[in-house]
Structure 1
Amino acid sequence: MKYATILFALFALSACDFTKRLDTAAVVKEMKSKQVKRVLPQDVVNQVDTWGQEIQTKGAMKLDSATNALQITVRIGAPASLKTSFKDAKMIEMMDALDYSLSQKQDIPASIQKNTAGDSLYYFYPSEAGKITVLGFAKNIVIQNMDRPLIK
């Protein structure tokens, strides 16, 4: 029995591979980077606002690079003509409101609206005379591309 115990212990130790040790600090760092983070709806809106303001101030050059990187849909035109490109009732109402504001010669500030389903955010800002630029952001793409420090 004594020899069997020693033989079993030697077999168990020989089965252990001590050559592949893991760096625990690196493993902890990797685990934290892959940890599921909590993103609040306000964080998503703030990120869309930041990107929308950058695109609005830097113009077409920033718009081209951001469109590809963030998969943004861009619509530019008069609200009455843009209305036909939307299927969502809330966005159609928004186009009607923008059309009315332009007809009354009111100043239109940049704004963010969610669609009815809540899976997309739209950043609106006035461009050339009588035209509106609409940047469409998919919520899941925004979350994937957010700055990591902003995610809690």
Structure 2
Amino acid sequence: MKKSLVLTCLVLSILSLQSCDFSKRIDTTAAVKEMKSRQVKRILPQDITNKADTWGQEVQAMIESPSNKLSLDSIAKQFQIRIQSGKAINLKQQNKDKKIQEVLDALEYSLSMNQEIPPSIQKNTSGDSLFYIFIHKKQDVILLGFSKSQIVLNIDKPLIK
């Protein structure tokens, strides 16, 4: 009786082990990496603003570089942004956004008072775009318009939490 019970257990364990296919074992480190890559990421508003500032500085350096041979249109296509350049009063007429018009009014006043104006980041009224604004050497105001959705698509992966 004992022999038959042991033999039955042995046969059942061999059959159960044979049904296991160890060749399809999952590599856990690869699975963890894939799960992290598919994980929903959170991008903070400050991350978007920082990226727009970084891009704005890059574009500003490119525009102000004496070795720059590119036109503003080709730079705009390269970075997928909108670039407007000119006197503050002319740009104010081109922009319908009330907040940007107020910023351009302030810039016009500051330029008339010969004040030093550092580059700045401004949001439009609806908040869906950011504008990097700086004064070019010729006293022209340059607006670099960044769409928030475009920034999110191109944001650096290490910045995403």
1:121 matched to which residue of 2? 130
2:61 matched to which residue of 1? 57
1:67 matched to which residue of 2? 76
User: Unpaired runs of 5+ in structure 2?
Assistant: 1-18
Q: Output the CA distance in 2 between the equivalents of 1:87 and 1:19.
A: 64
Q: Output the CA distance in 2 between the equivalents of 1:126 and 1:27.
A: 50
Report whether the alignment pairs 1:105 with 2:114. yes
2:49 matched to which residue of 1? 45
Report whether the alignment pairs 1:141 with 2:150. yes
Kept in 2: contact 1:38–1:151 (CA 8 A): yes
1:4 matched to which residue of 2? none
Task: Encode CA deviations 1:90-120: one digit per residue, 9 max, x unaligned.
Answer: 0111111111111111111100000111110
Could you say if the C-alpha distance between residues 70 and 30 of structure 1 is closer, same or farther in structure 2, counting changes exceeding 3 Å?
A: farther
Report whether the alignment pairs 1:83 with 2:83. no
RMSD: 2.7
Larger radius of gyration: 2
SS of structure 2 residue aligned to 1:82:
helix
Q: Output the CA distance in 2 between the equivalents of 1:19 and 1:65.
A: 54
SS of structure 1 residue aligned to 2:42:
coil
User: Unpaired runs of 5+ in structure 1?
Assistant: 1-12
SS of structure 2 residue aligned to 1:121:
strand
Paired AA for residue 67 in structure 1: A
Q: How far apart are 1:45 and its partner, in Å?
A: 0.8
Q: How far apart are 1:89 and its partner, in Å?
A: 0.4
Q: Output the CA distance in 2 between the equivalents of 1:112 and 1:49.
A: 7
Paired AA for residue 47 in structure 1: K
Q: Output the CA distance in 1 between the equivalents of 2:97 and 2:37.
A: 37
Paired AA for residue 120 in structure 1: S
Kept in 1: contact 2:99–2:124 (CA 8 A): yes
How high is the sequence identity, in percent, across the aligned residues? 53
Task: Encode CA deviations 1:121-148: one digit per residue, 9 max, x unaligned.
Answer: 0000111322011100001110110111
